[in-house]
Every structure is written in C-alpha cells, then in structure tokens.
Amino acid sequence: MAAARTLVAPRLAAASTFASLHCLRPLLPSRLAPSPRAALHGSAPRPGPRVALVLSGCGVYDGTELHEASAVLVHLSRGGAEVQIFAPDVPQMHVIDHTKGQPSESESRNVLTESARIARGKITDLAQLSAANHDAAIFPGGFGAAKNLSTFAVDGKDCKVNRDVERVLKEFHTAGKPIGTFFVCPLPGFL
C-alpha cells in the first residue's frame, strides 16, 4: 500500500495544484481541464469530434454566407469540436459587388483565398480533405455552393459538382459519417 501511495501521490498532487489555478481555467476548454482521476490513471482527456468545414468563398452572393459559417463555427466550438476549414483552390465563377448586388466585371478571385478570410488564414485545400481524418463534414450555405462548388447556378438540375466536393461527399457517405448542409436563403429555382 505504501508503494501505491508513493506512485499515486505525485500525480494527485500535480492534478490538485493544476486544478486549483483558477486563473488558467478560462484559458482551457473544460474538456481539457485535467481531473484528479485522469492524473491517477495517466489518461488524457478525450478530444472532441474532428469536423471538416467546407467553404465556397466569402460573401453571400458569390461565396459562403458569413452568418451561417460563423454560426456553425460558434456552435462547434461550444460543443468541443476540433474544426479544420477547407475550400477548393479554384477561381470563383464571378465576383459580386455586395454594395450593388451586381457582378464586378473587372475582378477575379480564388475560392480558397476568399474563404481564408473567414478562416483567418488557417485553411486547407479541399483536395487534401479525407473522411478518414474527420468525424463529420459541414457545408454552410451561400450562393458559392451553387456557383463555386457546383454549376447549379447556371445549369440547374443538369449541374456538375466540383470533383473534390463530389469525392468528399462520397467518402463521408461511404464511411457512414455525418454530412451537414444547410441553406437559409433558397437558391432561385431550387425550391
């Protein structure tokens, strides 16, 4: 029994000391805060689900709808998920001047580069997304889904889907993993 106390005491003391540092608690998600039980058994806290968020640019009329993307990010964060953001490295169909709601003929933009605005620069090319490394995939709305992830905005029911988007959807479906898609504002001709 003395040997067990000798082995366990340092871990319990370390956990108690760390747990008593209330100033650090706001900096750590509750799921990462060590518990005396975890210290006793030497086990690490279980990480949250890994979620891939797939963006289609930045801006409701030519990319991802910002409110939808930020709402998803907030709720995933509150739920303890580890989010990795992706977008295809392709040119946007066109650029919309959001102050006028009209195409800007003289501009061209890249979907990955524009999506990086929402991701604060921490973004990965969609070509690198694998269902094997994530528990779920979410596609927020915005006209970019119909313009940059597919040709639905132009071709309607005869549209083509970006090859990486199609591959990702098939991988997650085949693996039986959740795929979240949502569109708050209906696309013309879609509903």
Q: Per-block average pLDDT, block size 10, for the chain (191 residues)? A: 41 41 41 44 67 92 88 93 96 83 85 93 96 97 90 94 97 97 60 43
Position 11 in a domain: no
Q: Domain tally for the chain?
A: 1
- Catalytic residue numbers? 185
Indicate whether 4 belongs to any domain.
no
CATH code of 69's domain: 3.40.50.880
- Write out the residue range of the structural domain in which residue 147 sits: 50-181
pTM over 0.75: no
Q: Is residue 133 part of a domain?
A: yes
Long-range CB pairs of 125-128, under 8 A, 24+ apart, other chains included: 125/86, 125/87, 125/88, 125/89, 126/54, 126/86, 126/87, 126/88, 126/89, 126/162, 126/164, 126/165, 126/168, 127/88, 127/89, 127/164, 128/86
Kindly state whether residue 59 falls inside one of the protein's structural domains: yes
